[in-house]
Amino acid sequence: MESALGLVAGARHLGSGRFAFGRLLCGLVLGSIVAACPLTTMAQGETTPSIPWVAPPGFSQTTPCVPGLGERWASPASFQARTETGIAGPLYVVHEGRLLATFFEIAQADLAQGGAWQGTPLRYGGQAPTVDHADVMLIPAHLGFEEPHYGIHLFLVSRAEQDAISC
């Protein structure tokens, strides 16, 4: 308990007030998710094994392709889960018939208030895919998530492969 209090107290040095605590909490959430995933290292220039995309029941494409990212796929259930758990997801990033990432979204306000999101499943097709890297992004409100929130993207492809996506 003492070390947790020290961690929270130390957050004040990262910035001011709630924003600093939100960044700290987001880092802890991301670290917990990534730590639970099997990680491997890839030789430079090596491509990540391809995971063919087959949309789970109820999922549909919600955005066109975005360079350096791909297409976003979601289901109404992905956002309904937020009501029960505080976290929206899983959501998916796809490009040219290949699964690139799975991601989750947490409201900026929820992070600022503190909380814990544990046991968030990272599954696709009954398997736990290997995570290459993670990106955490502040995302403005949009249809389906009407307030600013953080997207925690767990990429299954290398940074080079992600950066090479052109639409």
Residues 14-24, mean pLDDT to the nearest whole number: 45
pLDDT (0 to 100) of residue 38? 43
How many domains, the chain? 1
Q: pLDDT digits over 89-102, tens only?
A: 899 999 999 999 99
109: domain CATH number? 3.30.200.270
Q: pLDDT above 90 covers what percent of the chain?
A: 44
Whole-number Cα distances in Å, 121 to 44, 87, 108, 156, 159: 29, 11, 21, 15, 23
Task: Supply the pLDDT for residue 47.
Answer: 63
Structural domain harbouring 157? 2-163
Give per-residue pLDDT as tens, 58-72: 999 999 999 999 999
Higher local confidence (pLDDT), 126 or 7 = 126
Mention every residue, 6+ apart, whose C-beta is less than 8 A from residue 110. Answer: 86
Highest mean predicted confidence (pLDDT) among 2-6, 69-73, 122-126: 69-73
CB 153 within 8 A of CB 92: no
Torsional sign, CA 65, 31, 55, 149: negative
Distance separating the N- and C-terminal Cα atoms of the chain? 49
